[in-house]
Structure 1
Amino acid sequence: MRIRKQISILLALVIALSMLGVFGVACSKPSVEDINKVTTANVFEAIKDAYKDVTGKEMPKEVADKLNDDLYSKIAQGTGYMEYAPYASEFIYEKTGVIIPPETLAIAIKAAVLVAGNL
Structure 2
Amino acid sequence: MSIQNLASYDPFADTGDDPGLSSKQAGVEAGVADGGAKKKAPQDRYIHIRIQQRNGRKTLTTLQGLPKEYDPKKLIKAFKKEFACNGTVVDDEESGQVIQLQGDQRQKISVFLADEVGIPKQEIKVHGF
> When the two structures are superposed, what TM-score results if normalisation uses the length of structure 2?
0.25
Higher strand share: 2
Higher helix share: 1
Higher relative contact order (CA 8 A, sep 6+): 1
> When the two structures are superposed, what TM-score results if normalisation uses the length of structure 1?
0.27
Please identify the structure whose Cα radius of gyration is greater: 1
